[in-house]
Structure 1
């Protein structure tokens, strides 16, 4: 699958990305989040230059991400993939048991 060119605007600046077509929705969601954060910071912080606002937005977003990770760790969140793997394993075992005992009670 070839990459697709996607042009977006972040804080009034155009950016072009080459991405796989199935990643476009995720990119646009991320762009909207960054654009929103940068525009809010531009209006409230006395900084000069898009680069400084971008760094401040990146730090703010990274801080939010880390806070969510720490909260998950504190709450003992179970990794989704581990749960899915365990469910598959239990389903396989149940299917095997049903196959082994399918004939019981049919005589």
Structure 2
């Protein structure tokens, strides 16, 4: 990743460079610059002490031109929407490069799973 640049901005720079090398049509480039869909949720979880705690989550569906969206979920106290957008974009590239018929997506939940009990 480029220094002092957010993951998503870094992904956009990489896209711009690749588009220039591959001579990608400008209209297609505009489509690829942004995700098709972004979802932000709050997941209520009852903790061991009985209180409810909301955990923020994200799901980014970048592009499905090659097939259904593919991508896992990242669980981390530091995960951000910006990072998930970049990871979804990179998943689009990964599936295309290896030739599998999937699009790119990624999810993230802001949580430190090591601090949760089995019950929560």
Q: TM-score, normalised by structure 1?
A: 0.26
Of Structure 1 and Structure 2, the greater helix share is in 1
- Higher RCO (CA-CA < 8 Å; seq separation 6+): 2
Whichever of the two has the greater Rg, that structure is 1
Of Structure 1 and Structure 2, the greater strand share is in 2
